[in-house]
Amino acid sequence: MRIQVELTDALQDYIADVSPNEPDVLRELRKRTDELPLRLMQISPEQGQFLNVLVRALGVRRAIEVGVFTGYSLISTALALPEGGTIVGCDDNPEWTSIAMEFCERAGVTDKVDMRVGDAVATLTELVASGSAETYDFVFIDADKQNYETYFELALTLLRTGGLIVVDNVLWHGAVIDDSAQDEETTALRAFNLRFTDDKRLDLSLLPFADGLTFAVKR
């Protein structure tokens, strides 16, 4: 039997209680995002805090985010970047990215953010074509699941050796082990989860945190 704590609502509330206070700007962003029909796409405050700690611990200077929405994870990451650090934000929705930029301004991180509004496959391909291969430290992937394999391959090209990719939603609310779930997103995530298991270009770990996070370090 494996030891795994059951994450009840009460335990999640407890984790929130003992976690650091959410920065005011991110609390306001969550409030603003709550007005949107697709608000559940936003990562949790604990996940944002985790990204922040990870980026600081790794000393990330050059980051990419695929899937910005209204900017919660982007700003969590940008706040952790050192002076001169940068993050390229990729999202194809101008309405959501304009909210993200408004809150980047409020968070004082606008000078660190290079927002690219458009299809993320095209944006990452352009970064490779412009000579940025092997120059990034960190990539966070949290966009359309059908493109996860493509994003991951492009991210691997853009990362330096020792750089880290974090992929969100890999357990997809548990649907990945539900045979009756045959929709495009679930099927794509199942394929993605198997695709890189024995890939000699990277070291990989899947954590049951939030909706499932895969970590991959480029060898």
Residues that bind ligand SAM in the complex, under the rule CB under 6 A: 41-43, 67-70, 72-73, 90-93, 96, 119-120, 142-144, 147
Least separation in angstroms between residue 118's CB and ligand SAM is 7
**Alpha-carbon span 45 to 25, nearest angstrom:** 12
Least separation in angstroms between residue 82's CB and ligand SAM is 21
| 137 or 142: CB nearest ligand SAM | 142
| 49 or 70: CB nearest ligand SAM | 70
What residues contact residue 51 under an 8 Å CB cut-off, 6+ apart? Answer: 43, 73, 76, 77, 80, 140, 166
Least separation in angstroms between residue 6's CB and ligand SAM is 25
User: Which residue in this structure is represented by tokens 């989860």?
Assistant: 193
- For residue 198, the 8-state DSSP code is T
Pairing label, strands 202-207, 213-218: antiparallel
Least separation in angstroms between residue 200's CB and ligand SAM is 28
User: Which residue in this structure is represented by tokens 């999640």?
Assistant: 12
| 16 or 219: CB nearest ligand SAM | 16
